[in-house]
Chain A
Amino acid sequence: MIMMSTRQWALTGLGVAILMVLPLLLHNFWLVNIMGRAMVYGVVALSLTFLAHYGGFISLAQTMVAGIAGYAVAMMAPTAIPLSTMAMPYALAIPLAVLAATLAGALVGLIAVNTREIYLLMITLALAVGFSLFAQSNITWFRGYEGIRNIVGPEVFGLPFRTPMVFYYSALIVAVLMYLLVLYVVRTPFGLVLQAIRDSNRRTAAIGFNVALHRIAAFALAGFIAGWGGVLITFYNIGITPSSIGLWATVAVLIMAVIGGLGHPLGAFIGALIYALMDTFASTIIGHDRFNTLIGLVFLSIVLLSPDGVWGIGERLKATLQGKGSKPAVEEAAGNETADRGS
């Protein structure tokens, strides 16, 4: 994908228009617990997809970074139970929380700056698990196992944030803005350099770019995106606990991104929607334990049958209909890495 064509812009506009009138058609449960939920988790998955697809960095720390924004907003929220000494209006707490996530993202980028592939996975996973365990054991700030409750979010036009319309439209605005931000950034020199690093970090340095700095900036931007997701997820869950950012939550976001397809930013939202649907309906029909097995099986079959996810299936169908062959993005990337090692 070199550039968004007029047709793609038209499709994007159509998609947003449909999402905007959806509240007229959908029951509140669908609006909030399926669509709204898919969008707020989709934003966190989007930050992972952004790093993976454009930078070639698979980071498992994105849930943790979102959790840092979630904890930050909870600690500063004027409604928090128990209320901390840092309470301040949401208008201040939300931007500060997103800033905290951006800085945390940069820090993850800095720590992992020289690692690639499996080592990057391991180090970001270690950071994620470490942070969740720390939050669980720290009482003073993180309130330990119980977490921080009653984070209801700001009032918008006098309406509580948890009003279905308010939550839905807030999630929609954030999701669309983050999605467009990614599409814009990847066409800027900064975004092109990220793709250059993905294809050959040796060459990127050899022409004069500071690869480390661009990597850290990419993780900071991913932190900014995940931070918005983390704030909204905390409002959605009316609070935050260590388990909501633990190992399973980390894996869940990875599953969303992979099921949807790492090959396009939209895949993150498709994956988050499929996950929300399965979690809601499969859990009630077959029970929660079996849901984990089911989502695991879906994940496995996607990885085995269509490594570029549902988005990739769509792309291949399109290519078949147009009579053109196409290969999965994941395979391409793997080939490039091998080329990069030899000289």
Chain B
Amino acid sequence: MAEPFDFSQAPEALVLTGVSRRFGALKAVSDVTLTIRQGERRAILGPNGAGKTTLFNTICGDYPPTAGQITFFGTDITRLRVHRRARLGIGRTYQSSLLFSGLSVLENLYLAVRAASAGRFSLRKAGPADPDVARARELAGRVRVSGFLDTRIDAISHGQRRQVEIGMALAGNPKLLMLDEPAAGLSAAERPELIALLAGLPRELTLVLIEHDMDVALSNADMVTVMKDGLVVVEAPPAQIADDPVVQSIYLGDPH
């Protein structure tokens, strides 16, 4: 259970109003309205195909909403381009790792740091004393991949890629961090490390977590949103989730 934290007075970090996303005839996200305050840890649960990942995609801009409005700390970002949203402080990971597979671990993290700093566009090689490189090394330590700095992404293990995923999302010091099934495919030994990493995040960081693993999801959540068929079906604190009849009916026969 997360530290008790009263975020009810905190500013609204992310507000979705009637957000929908269509793919042709399919409504992957349907009229979602929710408010997440600064510092809140929000878990999003739901069966496969519920629209959880698509919800992330509408927020980060990969697939902007086809209807509705999204504001981020009061700024309307509904139509903003992906890199503009990132620069406002939205960091995310992907359900199946989306890394720069031809580059090294350090280069991946370095680019993520660099993307968030001024003067992103540069034709000057980074020297060993470059502060961005130092910050990338520090991030590597934080997500426990310091031993593989010069290894190409396509040569590290799945678990290490998941770690780099999180490192890259953290690199820009985001105000909002969105993690899409960070525990997927991790070994039993790797899960506690992930939980510890999440627990160690600064309290003012807003976290939205899609997670099938109930332990990982509920140990970190202040509030839980349950989705099904693109709709939000339940919104409740974690203590009430396990007993909720709707949640039980959804998860019955779906052990994930």
> Which residue of chain A has the shortest Cβ distance to B132 in the bound complex?
A189
A206 and B111 within 8 A (CB): no
- In the assembled complex, the Cα of A186 lies from the Cα of B120 at a distance in Å of 15
A341 to chain B, nearest CB (A): 10
Query: What A residues does B82 contact at CB under 8 A?
Result: 202, 205-206
B101 and A206 within 8 A (CB): no
Determine whether B251 belongs to the interface, using a CB cutoff of 8 Å to chain A. no
Determine whether B123 belongs to the interface, using a CB cutoff of 8 Å to chain A. yes
A189 and B114 within 8 A (CB): yes
B166 to chain A, nearest CB (A): 13
A200 and B100 within 8 A (CB): yes
Query: What B residues does A188 contact at CB under 8 A?
Result: 122-126
Q: Kindly name the residue among B102, B124, B172 whose own CB sees the greatest number of chain A CB atoms within 10 A.
A: B102
- In the assembled complex, the Cα of A204 lies from the Cα of B60 at a distance in Å of 12
> Which residue of chain B has the shortest Cβ distance to A213 in the bound complex?
B121
Q: List CB contacts (< 8 Å) of B13-39 with chain A.
A: none
Q: List CB contacts (< 8 Å) of A197-227 with chain B.
A: 198-200, 202-211, 213-214, 217
Determine whether A184 belongs to the interface, using a CB cutoff of 8 Å to chain B. yes
B103 and A195 within 8 A (CB): yes
B116 and A208 within 8 A (CB): yes
Determine whether A22 belongs to the interface, using a CB cutoff of 8 Å to chain B. no
Given contacts A195-B100, A332-B102, A339-B98, contact A206 B92 (CB under 8 A): yes
A199 and B101 within 8 A (CB): yes
A187 and B125 within 8 A (CB): yes
- In the assembled complex, the Cα of A2 lies from the Cα of B171 at a distance in Å of 22
A200 and B57 within 8 A (CB): no
**Residues on A facing B (Cβ under 8 Å):** 2, 184-185, 187-190, 192-193, 195-196, 198-200, 202-211, 213-214, 217, 332, 336, 339-340, 342-343
23 CB < 8 A contacts A-B:
A185-B123, A188-B126, A189-B122, A190-B121, A192-B111, A195-B102, A195-B103, A199-B99, A200-B98, A203-B168, A205-B82, A206-B82, A206-B86, A206-B91, A206-B92, A207-B86, A207-B111, A208-B115, A209-B120, A217-B121, A336-B101, A339-B98, A343-B98
